[in-house]
Every structure is written in structure tokens, then in C-alpha cells.
Amino acid sequence: MPLIQNLSWLDLGVFGLYVGGLILMGVLDRRRQMKAREHFLGGNSASWPRIGFALYASTISATSLVGLTGAAYSHGISVYNYEWMAAVVLTIFCAFVLPTYIKSQVFTVPEFLELRYGKFVRTYVSALSVVLGIFLDAAGGLFAGAVLFQILFPDWVLWQVCALLALLAGAFLISGGLRAVIMVESVQGLVMVIAASGIAFFTFQAAGGWNHVMSQLDPAHLKLVMPASDKDMPWTGLLTGVPLIGFYFWCTNQIMVQRVLAAKSLDHGRWGSLMGGALKLTNLFLVILPGAAAVLLFPHLAQPDQVFSHIVFEVMPHGLIGLILAACLISILANLSAVYNSTSTLLTMDFIRKLRPGMTDVQLVRTGKIVIVALMVISVLWTPQIIHFQDTLWKYLQAVLCYFVPPIAAVFLAGLFIKRVNTAGAAAGLIVGTTASLVLFVDAFQFHVFPLHFLVAAVVIFVIAGAALLIGSLFRPAPDPATVSHLMFAKDVWKAETDHLREVKWYQNYRILSVALLILTGAIVVWFA
């Protein structure tokens, strides 16, 4: 175990104190998990700083640190397009999507879609979300964690590391529920910012400073907008697939939405979401540019994904090494816990509760814990198969998202803004869209008849699903406005909110904060375009 030899007693002490302290926080809070809403939505008690840091912590995980630095090392900062798009999407989320979620008091995104379209759409989307939760989110998290730990312990077998991580995450979640996950992630987000700041500072210092790095790097490595022929981030994909993935991830993905649904109020949910978007912008300077700068320090790495471990063990001072390793471990456990909890919530509330409607809160929570164990087993068994589908984890995750989530985005957006769409149209959009997803997905890996980058394929599937939704809706009567109008964006509600916000202090006005966030985002993009 050669890397462990690089750890000092200070590193081991910091590691033990941090991991032990956060786990103890979650376990001690378990006594408050009595009712279903407390277990699944954290008792609607999360304040905006907790939500903001939890959102950021869920995306600046060990997977992100390894993946983003590796992508920046090999291909430059164009990977940042996924990050800044989050800030744009979250402003839309705060204005149009979150208010309806909060008002409806739902447990899940599919539950919300049922109110708009009916039981078929809820069941369909919930089932697809469960599949993605297991085979994309959980398996992807386990794979990334296992790869990181195999760097530390090269003699460990992949499935054994996956099993250990799943057991630790499941035990933590079962003992505390989502409230404990959010509590840990709120602290974790702050620590990850501190750790990433240390990575950026010491990496640039070792590479000769900001000016030296920016002058020595290949100019193509410092560009956000790439040619249409680029194999990783073509500008066509930036205009198509990246926004779609962002909308799904932040607005309709149960794992992310559930964190905001735990807010104590609509304002706290909005402030926390915008805070999460602002924190995402820092990844360019804290994670991605240091990854690009590492080319000057380690110019001949055989595997780009190894650059993060080289930075940590060869650049960071002792003490900070232990903190970073501890933060990575906690991020893996917290993210896996959130995935298991969200997927368990879907299965428990959208399927099992329907089959047994008389279950009490205690029975629902107990059933949710049993489901978590089953999810752990399935995800551990699937994780070793990922390598057979793509040569890297990053491509596996992005490709699956681009091929399978556009139909959900099409149905959700249409339901939010178009009154004419109905249950029949939504069913047609989901079925036809998913069929197109399967055809293009199989073609991309087997036949290559349609030469589409996966980011471009996403918008093709979105258009097909949207067209099927609109056409299908024409074959049935329009829904009763009284039953759907409260689930949609309404101009009168917007105007009433405008009047209310005139009396709100500027720093509490989410619209002013949203505009400020968009201006900051635009400035960064123009700078590196």
C-alpha cells in the first residue's frame, strides 16, 4: 500500500477526527426520524445555507474532483460548461419550478407529475427514475469511489470496495435518514470549498503562479467554446445537450430536488438553490484550472484520472492531505446515501404504498430501509459491468443521461407551460421518446448509422418526444383548467409576486439575486470563451 506510506500522523489524526465527527453528528440525530416526512424530506427544516452547501457538496464529490481534474488535464477547461450551466438552470428552477413543488407538498417528482398528468405518467417516470438511480447514480458513485480507493489500496478487488462503500452508506442512511444526510452535506460542502481552495492555491504555487500557468498552457486548453468537431464538448452540444442535462439534473432529478424540498420555506429553498449555483461557478478556479495547470507539474501521466491523487500526495502539505482524503470519503458515503434514499423513496411511496395503502408511518419507514438494502445489493452487482459499456466513467454517465432523460424533460416542460397537453399526450411523448432513446443508444454503441454526438442526440430525442406529446394530446380533450392551472406557471401569480417583492429587501429578493448570478456567470463565460 505505497500511497498510505505518504500519510503522516497528522494526516491520520485529521482524517479520523473529521470522519468520526460527521458520522457521530448523523447518528445522534436519528432519534428525530419518526414520521415518513421526517425520514424522506428531513422534516422540512433545512435552512438556505444548509441547502446551498448540500447541493454543492453533492456535486463536488470525490467523483467530481477526480473526473473534473482528469478531464481538464487531458482536454482543457471546456468541461466547465457543465458547471456554469447549473447556475443558469437554477435561476429558472427558482422562478418557475420550485414554487409549484413547495406548494404541492409532494414527496417525489413523479408524485408531482401525477397531479398534472395522471397515474400512468407518474408510474412510468418513477420506474425510469428508479432504474437511473440504481444503474447510473448509485453504480457510478460506487465505481468512482472504488477507483479512488484502489489508488490508495491497489490490492483491493473492485467489487469488494464497492460492497464496503455500499454497506457504510446504507448503514449511515438507515440510522439517520435524509435529515442526517443534509446535516452532513451542509458541513461537507463548506469543507470541500476549503479543501478545493487549498488544492488550487498549492497547485498554482507549485506550478509557478497564476501568470506563469496562464502563459505556459496551450491556449486551446483555456477555451470554453470548442469546434463542432470536438469529440468531448462540441459547441453544438453546448447549445443542446448540456442545457437539457442541466434541466433534468437540477429540476426533475429526485436526488437533487429532494434536497430543496426539505427547505423550511420557499424563500429558503430559493436562496439555497442560488447559493448552490454560485458555488458551482467556483469550480473553474478551485478544481478545473488546477487540473489543467497540473500538466506543467506532471506532463506525462498515462491515466488522466490519476492527476488528482498526484496533486494530493505530491503537492499538498500534511494535514491538508488527511482533510482532503476524509472529505472524499464522506462525500462518497453522503452521495450514495442520498441516491439510496431518493430511490428508496420512489419505490416506497410510488409503488409499495399504492399496493398497501393502509401502511403507517412506522411501516413506511421500515419498508424504506428494507428497500435500501436491496438497492445496495443490486448496485454492487452492476457496478463492475460499467467498464464494458464505456472506456471511462465520465462518458458512461453523460451518455446515459443524454440518451434517456430528454423525454422526461419534454413532458415536464410541456406540463409546466402548455395547458393543452394531457395524459394521452404525455404517455405518447414518454413512450415514443424512450423508443427513440433506445434506438439511438444502441446505434451509438453497435451500428453507427446516425453519426450524432451524444450531446446532440439528446436534443433530437427531446424534439421527438415533444412532437409526440403535442400530437398525442390532440386525440383527447384538453384537461380541465381548474385541475391543472395551479400546477403551471401563471402570469397573475408572477405579477402578484412582483408586487410582493417590491417590499422585500434587495438582498432577500431572489430575482435580484438571480440576475446578479446570471451576470457573474456571463462574465466568466465571456472571459474564457
Residue 513 has what DSSP assignment? H
Give the pLDDT mean for 11-36: 67
* Kind and range of the H or E run holding 387: none
Which of 95-104, 181-190, 361-370 is predicted least confidently? Answer: 181-190
- What is the pLDDT at residue 392? 64
Q: What does the angle CA 44 – CA 108 – CA 40 come to, to the nearest 5 degrees?
A: 45
Give the tens place of pLDDT for each residue, 31-54.
444 445 444 445 456 789 888 887
pLDDT tens, residue by residue, 247-259:
999 998 876 887 7
178 versus 330: the higher-pLDDT residue is 330
* Nearest alpha carbon to residue 260 among 449, 227, 251: 251
Do 415 and 121 meet the contact criterion of CB atoms below 8 Å apart? no
**Which carries the bigger pLDDT value, residue 70 or residue 526?**
526
3-class SS at 480?
A: coil
Identity at 255, one-letter amino acid code: I
Report, as an integer, the average pLDDT of 361-385.
Answer: 86
Return the pLDDT at 3. Answer: 45
Is a pLDDT exceeding 70 seen at residue 30?
Answer: no
The Cβ of residue 29 has, within 10 Å, a number of other Cβ atoms equal to: 18
What Å distances lie between residue 55 and 180, 238, 255, 275, 408, CA to CA? 14, 23, 10, 9, 21
What is the model's pTM? 0.84
Report the percentage of the chain scoring pLDDT > 70.
90
pLDDT category of residue 312 using cuts at 50, 70 and 90: confident
Q: What is the pLDDT of residues 226-243, one digit of tens each?
A: 999 888 889 999 999 999
Read off the pLDDT band of 363 (50, 70, 90). Answer: confident
Most confident range (mean pLDDT) of 8-12, 25-29, 155-159 is: 8-12
SS3 300: coil
Give the containing element (helix H, strand E) for 502. none
Judge whether residue 27 has pLDDT over 90.
no
pLDDT category at 23 given cuts 50, 70, 90 is low
CATH of region 2-216+243-352+361-388: 1.20.1730.10
Query: What pLDDT shows up at residue 161?
Result: 85
504-523 residue pLDDT tens: 899 999 999 999 999 999 99
Mean pLDDT of 345-364: 83
Whether pLDDT at 83 is above 80:
yes
**How open is the CA angle 152-156-161, to the nearest 5 degrees?**
90
Q: Band of the pLDDT at 410, cuts 50, 70, 90?
A: very high
pLDDT value at residue 176: 54
**Does the pLDDT at position 325 exceed 70?**
yes
The residue length of the chain stands at: 529
| Cell numbers given for 252 | 426533475
Contact in structure between 50 and 272 (CB atoms under 8 Å): yes
What pLDDT sits at residue 177? 47
Judge whether residue 477 has pLDDT over 60: yes
Identify each DSSP E strand in 379-442 by its residue range: none
Q: Write down the pLDDT at residue 45.
A: 62
Give the type of residue at 307: V
C-alpha cell at 152: 490508495
* Mean of all residue pLDDT scores within the chain: 84
Model confidence at 275, in pLDDT bands (50, 70, 90)? very high
Single-letter amino acid, residue 308:
F
Calculate mean pLDDT across residues 9-24: 80
Residues 6+ apart with CB under 8 A from 310: 294, 297, 298, 301
Dig out the grid coordinates for 127 from the structure.
420506474
State the CB neighbour count (10 A cutoff) for residue 446. Answer: 8
Q: List the single range of 202-216, 352-366, 390-404, 496-510 with lowest mean pLDDT.
A: 390-404
Contact 78, 302 (CB under 8 A): no
> Is the sign of the CA dihedral 205, 211, 217, 222 positive or negative?
positive
The three-point CA angle 222-226-228 to 5° equals: 170
Give the model confidence (pLDDT) of 442-469 as tens digits. Answer: 998 788 899 899 999 999 999 999 999 9
